[in-house]
């Protein structure tokens, strides 16, 4: 470090961090335990929030916690990257040496990111499935040893006796749980790979910047570069068939497990004499079908009403003028015959409509009685 012409600047940076932390500690010496935090900036933010949150309204706590978490991640990354770059730079004699040092230093960062590869997708999915019920994944064994033990005990025994079907349902649940575990593993592995690749890309970007003699302007700039790298890798990887297959398998396994779990819940509820989801579904389906038929009938009635109204409002055609008395009589008789026919037709139509209405009502009444 002493040999580098720029070592004084890095020393200054480290000293600034230390003096900031020392200032915080001296201000809060009595309130806080005196332990050296891993990242003084993150710790400073945490301590600030502890002091400030007493004055904050409860409804703002959630959003502030979220903002602080992001801030701590951001500063942790900046601090870690700064250390990485300092180490790399202080030992380098050429661009290749710099690249090699960065590469070695980034291995640690990759391990960190892989270890903390997001379980958020799983948590969200499982929370969605839970929705206030006990989560299906409570059944999921948390280790291979647990799974093996469970498998050996339950799956190997054939079902016998009155509870044979119940036993087979639980055996099936165990198999589905094992499938879900396996599918989840594959899915999380895919995300781990994305994290690792994003770090590789980040490393590459820094080396390219160094070669172009460009500088990240701020901690935020470093964070933004990292986000860009992650999104770039992510956008490419999640479009690939392997990822889509892993995603589909994971979702399907979770849904199969959820469905089996709910079937068991329904049976339990029915045994207790309480309404189950299955029974409600049957009712709702029939009810919705009835509503559709009612809607259709209502539309037909409106159409028929409009037709009847149109007919009722239709004026008879004016009679042609007669030239001779005989012709007049013939014309009069013909006009009368015509109106009689029209009236007869209208009456016949009304009768038919009434019959149809009666038939429809009777059908509906019988159908309801049958149910």
Q: Which of residues 111-140 bind another protein (CB under 8 A)?
A: 118, 120-121, 124-125, 127-129, 131
Shortest distance (Å) from residue 57 CB to another protein: 5
Q: How far does Cα 246 stand from its chain's mean position?
A: 16
Tell which one of 82, 100, 196, 364 touches another protein (CB under 8 A).
82
Residue whose token pair is 């149109």: 310
Among 255, 264, 269, 346, binds another protein (CB under 8 A): 255
Q: Could you tell me the smallest distance in angstroms from the CB atom of residue 64 to another protein?
A: 7
Encoded one letter per residue, x for contact with another protein by CB under 8 A and - for no contact, window 88-107 reads -x-----x--x---------
Looking at residues 209 to 228 of the shown chain, list those that interact with another protein (rule: CB under 8 A): 210, 213, 215-220, 222-224, 227
Based on the shown chain and the rule CB under 8 A, indicate whether residue 235 belongs to the binding site for another protein. Answer: yes
Residues 128, 122: Cα–Cα separation, whole Å: 10
- Supply the minimum distance, in Å, between the C-beta of residue 289 and another protein: 8
Which is nearer to another protein, 110 or 216 (by Cβ)?
Answer: 216
Contact 40, 18 (CB under 8 A): yes
Question: Least distance to another protein from the beta carbon of 88, Å?
Answer: 8
- State the nearest-atom distance from the C-beta of 42 to another protein, in Å: 11
Minimum CB separation from another protein for residue 11, in Å? 10
Angle between helices 164-211 and 95-115 (to 10 degrees): 160
Using the minimum distance from each CB to another protein, give the nearer residue, 240 or 330: 240
Stated as kind and residue range, the H or E segment containing 222 is helix 219-237
Instruction: Give the separation between CA 279 and CA 269, rounded to whole angstroms.
Output: 10
Pick 131 or 313: Cβ nearer another protein: 131
187 binds another protein (CB under 8 A): no
What's the CA gap between 94 and 86, in Å, rounded? 15
Q: Does 295 bind another protein (CB under 8 A)?
A: yes
- Give the binding range for another protein (CB under 8 A) out of 59-67, 144-152, 315-323, 324-332: 59-67
Q: Read out DSSP for 203-219?
A: HHHHHHHHHTT----SH
Q: Exactly one of 280, 301, 317, 322 binds another protein (CB under 8 A); which one?
A: 280
Q: What distance in Å separates the CA atoms of residue 10 and residue 160, rounded to the nearest whole number?
A: 74
Among 38, 52, 336, 361, binds another protein (CB under 8 A): 52
> Tokens 């499935």 — which residue?
129
Say which residue the tokens 């661009």 belong to. Answer: 95
Distance CA 97, CA 245 (A): 41
Strands (E) located in the chain: none
Q: Which residues of 174-209 are buried (b: 16+ CB within 10 A; e: fewer)?
A: bbbbbbbbebbebbbebbbbbbbbbbebbbebbbee
Stretch touching another protein by CB under 8 A, among 39-47, 104-112, 172-180, 360-368: 39-47
Closest CB to another protein among 10 and 139?
Answer: 10
Q: Which residue has the tokens 């033990």?
A: 149
Candidate residues 169, 188, 247, 349; the one interacting with another protein per rule CB under 8 A: 247
Contact 250, 238 (CB under 8 A): no
Q: Which of 91, 234, 265, 319 binds another protein (CB under 8 A)?
A: 234
């Amino acid at each position: 470090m002493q040999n580098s012409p720029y070592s004084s600047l890095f020393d200054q940076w480290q000293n600034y961090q230390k003096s900031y932390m020392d200032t915080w500690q001296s201000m809060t010496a009595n309130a806080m335990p005196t332990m050296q935090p891993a990242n003084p900036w993150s710790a400073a933010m945490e301590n600030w929030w502890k002091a400030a949150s007493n004055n904050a309204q409860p409804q703002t706590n959630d959003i502030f916690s979220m903002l602080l978490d992001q801030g701590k991640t951001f500063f942790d990354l900046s601090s870690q990257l700064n250390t990485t770059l300092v180490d790399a730079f202080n030992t380098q004699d050429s661009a290749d040496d710099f690249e090699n040092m960065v590469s070695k230093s980034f291995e640690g960062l990759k391990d960190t990111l892989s270890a903390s590869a997001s379980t958020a997708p799983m948590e969200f999915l499982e929370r969605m499935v839970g929705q206030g019920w006990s989560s299906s994944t409570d059944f999921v064994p948390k280790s291979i040893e647990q799974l093996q033990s469970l498998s050996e005990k339950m799956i190997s025994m054939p079902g016998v006796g009155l509870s044979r079907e119940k036993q087979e349902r639980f055996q099936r649940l165990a198999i589905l749980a094992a499938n879900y575990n396996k599918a989840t593993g594959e899915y999380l592995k895919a995300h781990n790979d994305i994290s690792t690749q994003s770090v590789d890309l980040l490393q590459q970007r820094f080396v390219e910047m160094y070669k172009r003699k460009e500088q990240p302007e701020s901690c935020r700039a470093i964070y933004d570069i990292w986000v860009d790298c992650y999104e770039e890798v992510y956008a490419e990887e999640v479009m690939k068939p392997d990822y889509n297959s892993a995603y589909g398998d994971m979702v399907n396994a979770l849904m199969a497990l959820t469905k089996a779990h709910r079937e068991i819940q329904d049976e339990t509820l029915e045994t207790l004499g309480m309404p189950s989801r299955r029974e409600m579904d049957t009712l709702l389906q029939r009810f919705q079908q009835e509503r559709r038929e009612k809607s259709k009938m209502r539309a037909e009635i409106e159409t028929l009403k409009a037709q009847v109204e149109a007919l009722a409002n239709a004026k008879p055609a004016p009679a042609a003028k007669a030239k001779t008395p005989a012709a007049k009589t013939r014309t009069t008789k013909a006009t009368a015959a015509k109106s009689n026919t029209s009236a007869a037709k209208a009456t016949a139509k009304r009768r038919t409509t009434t019959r149809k209405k009666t038939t429809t009502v009777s059908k509906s009444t019988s159908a309801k009685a049958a149910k």
